[in-house]
Structure 1
Amino acid sequence: MLETYEKALKWIHGIRRFGKKPGLKRMEWMMDKLDHPEKKVPMIHVAGTNGKGSTVTFIRHLLQEQGLVVGTFTSPFIEVFNERISVNGEPISNEQLLALANAIYPLAEALEKTELGGPSEFEVITAMMFLYFGTGQVDVAVVEVGIGGLLDSTNILTPEVSVITTIGMDHMELLGKTLPEIAAQKAGIIKPGVPVVAGNIPKEALEVIEKIAQNQQSPLYAFQKDYVISKWHTLPTWGEQFTYEDDQIMLQPIQLSMLGRHQTENAAAAIKAVAVFSQKRALLLNHEKMLLGLKQAFWPGRMEKISDSPLIVMDGAHNVPGIQRLIETIKLDFAQQEIVILFAALRNKEYSKMIQMLKKVPHVHLILTSFEHERAVTAEDICQEEDMVFFEVWQEALLAAVKQAGEDSVLLITGSLYFISEVRRTLLK
């Protein structure tokens, strides 16, 4: 028995994150003991290299504006652990989290004694989420994949619609060394006969997804083929505007409060997913409310403006594809301005490649730092980058970055989402 919220968190975080034999058998065992809560509520399943969190939030706002109570499961958290399991954007309470942990705790202990071995940290959190959403708390749940898809612990669900946002090079040690290999893992969420929406995905990866969808007899809706965006431009106030069209819906002008062309792609995939979901559930969509939901959608740490003077922006570009999209946004929206970039990464990412990419951007002053995480990149890791400015303490790096950023400059804080979370909490205080 876990007596307090703090003890529940300590237990959850004390479980090994990875290292368990991959597969869904432990999740199936726990769900069986809980009478299969994952089958008791309609769900939308979202996989992809980047854009999952933003797409989940667009889907959530679209459905919420239609009057539905929407559960979301996301990772990692930005402010508080509880936000990983949220209802209409509100994290569950400490009391609810404690109750869920106490429901899973004896199962985890019993599972430890079987040949399957105890669950991982992510499996425990996933089980808690299924239990919560499956007990009548929500009308629909939008579930983000942890890593990959095929062997991810969320993949025991059969959704109303699956979404694959993007495919890029990340988690190669787990998912494969090529885009087709990674695509095959992500496409593991495609279930027989369940429609799948594909975002802006490279041709060689999309071909893999098309083949798997065909084998599963699952209708596939591809970006700029089965649903199309046009008339895109960046708003002077902050955000994006575009038009969306498919066989059933035309929405214009769509305004997003999130900056970056990639957000129009995430929003379009979300619109298509909601359109498919509503068709299956006989839900009539109010287009005005859809526009309102899209405009209201916000996801912390994604091209998020923290301050106007100086202009401070935070973006969790934590892998090479994320940095590519960040550089696109810089070149489009901040081409005339000096940019000071404060960057920190995890050791298991291609941090040297990301640093080299950022160094090549015109008008950029790059400052590197570290943060409180066992896998954070340190000065020793990048000693070969002799011309780099590096601060071991990010608070000192931030002060140096603010000093360097002039009145017309942009201070961009980017890299690991764990780093973004840590800095954001401090800045918003």
Structure 2
Amino acid sequence: MSMTYEEALQWIQERLKFGIKPGLERMEWMLGELGNPERRLKSVHLAGTNGKGSTLTYMRAILQEAEYKVGTFTSPYIEVFNERISINGTPISNEDLAELVAAVRPVVEALEETDLGAATEFEVITVMMFYYFGIVNPCDIVLIETGLGGRFDSTNVVYPVATVITTIGYDHMHILGETLPAIAGEKAGIIKPGIPLITGVEQPDAYEVIQETAAAKQAKVYKLGEQFAVEHTESSASGEQFHFQCPFASYENLCISMRGAHQVQNAALALMTVFYLKTYQSFLIGEEHIREGLRGAFWLGRFETLSTEPLVIIDGAHNPEGVHSLVETLRTHYSDKRITVLFSALGDKKADRMIAQLETVADRLIFTTFDFPRAVSPRLLAAHCRKEHEVFDDWQEALEQVLPSLTGGDAFIITGSLYFISEIRAYMLQT
């Protein structure tokens, strides 16, 4: 049954009503009906509280420079829905998405007649991704980002050639657990028997859980700071510079354009994974591919400059760890600026901890909201604030007041939910 792109997108998004359902049974059933396309992929599986998207982007950029065809699966989207399933950074076409829905829809609807119940939106998109990369448009490698957690995430039916756990932090605690070890246990669920793990997890209690899981599954661990290392040497207007060393190679004076010390760590995780692929999976990757890939890598909505005059930056810092990285990056790069922060968040986040950190760098702090089911009232956000602030129910009104007042000495930082900055980004690029 053929469908238009608009009909296909509507059908997918109608499944938001089924919410979040952790578990792999529905995925396994649907993929079995489709011939298990996930078994045809050569893939890297990434989990973590923060840094998944940036780490994946560095890997993709390096592999692209080496002329590999790289599929990616990421979430949420920033510009267009289709970007969640991309090849070499280009979202699949509207036609391909519509054909994917037509292909998987009979199976998805057949699932509803079983005791397993209806598939969620994310499960459907994940099935579409596996079908696309496994059957419709195979790639040399597919980089797959978990949506939530790891152990019961819909993507965790894949058997990759390497796994990556970037960081552990307090996010989605109502689902993943209240403590770092509990959250780490969920993330560690992506570790497969005999498959190596590359990780940047720092907290000893969280890393212990990951290490124990890896040992039980005989998965070799490459830990940042132990089996491989990075030295951040310089921050400048053009980005960050660093040295990198691992068991397979060492490089000096590598450069990335994405700013912040946390991006150096993300790049190190990507490099370690790339060197594993080069050493054990026969990927042909040279020094020029590494240097050019890192330098050119860019991830929408991550400390992204929308305007230089006036200076407007958006950053999807949507949890305490993300805000900490944002604050440190602002201190490093814009300590000479008067900083105005516009902030909005979802209800399942630690808004009090995020706001406390933003207060330390913001000369002007503004709270707002946006049209999204879990978006928090700006007054509830403001209740956590201990310094003078402003509240706007309409974020467009906030922009209209702030933007004309900015001078060369100002930096306007728009941050919080990725869904929020996606709206802001689209609006500002159109006006």
Give the TM-score band, short-chain normalised: over 0.9
Q: Which residue of 1 aligns with 2:263?
A: 263
The CA deviation at 1:374 is 1.4
2 CA distance for matches of 1:407 and 1:291? 33
Larger deviation, residues 303-312 vs 9-18: 9-18
Q: Which residue of 2 aligns with 1:4?
A: 4
Q: Does 2:415 match 1:423?
A: no
Q: Conserved in 2, the CA contact under 8 Å of 1:241 and 1:254?
A: yes
SS at match of 2:292: helix
The CA deviation at 1:383 is 5.9
Alignment of 1:18-417 (within 5 A): 19=19, 21-135=21-135, 136-235=137-236, 237-361=237-361, 364-382=363-381, 384=383, 387-417=388-418
TM-score normalised per structure 2:
0.96
1 CA distance for matches of 2:18 and 2:219? 31
- Which amino acid is the alignment partner of residue 4 of structure 1? T
- Which amino acid is the alignment partner of residue 369 of structure 1? T
1 CA distance for matches of 2:414 and 2:383? 23
SS at match of 2:174: helix
Deviations 1:223-242 (A, max 9, x none): 0111111142112x321110
2 CA distance for matches of 1:87 and 1:196? 24
Deviations 1:132-174 (A, max 9, x none): 0112431110000000000000000010000001100000000
Work out the percentage of aligned pairs sharing the same amino acid: 46
TM-score normalised per structure 1:
0.96
Q: Conserved in 1, the CA contact under 8 Å of 2:351 and 2:384?
A: no
2 CA distance for matches of 1:367 and 1:326? 16
2 CA distance for matches of 1:21 and 1:416? 22
Q: Conserved in 2, the CA contact under 8 Å of 1:162 and 1:194?
A: yes
- Which amino acid is the alignment partner of residue 377 of structure 1? V
- Which amino acid is the alignment partner of residue 220 of structure 1? V
Cα RMSD after superposing both structures: 1.5
Q: Conserved in 2, the CA contact under 8 Å of 1:200 and 1:265?
A: no
2 CA distance for matches of 1:114 and 1:385? 46
SS at match of 2:67: coil
The CA deviation at 1:18 is 5.2
Q: Against the structure 1 CA distance between its residues 55 and 17, is the aligned structure 2 distance closer, same or farther, given a 3 Å change threshold? A: farther
Larger deviation, residues 78-87 vs 203-212: 203-212
The CA deviation at 1:2 is 5.4
Structure 2, gaps ≥5 residues long: none
The CA deviation at 1:200 is 4.3
Q: Conserved in 2, the CA contact under 8 Å of 1:340 and 1:405?
A: no
Q: How many residues align?
A: 427
2 CA distance for matches of 1:397 and 1:103? 44
Structure 1, gaps ≥5 residues long: none
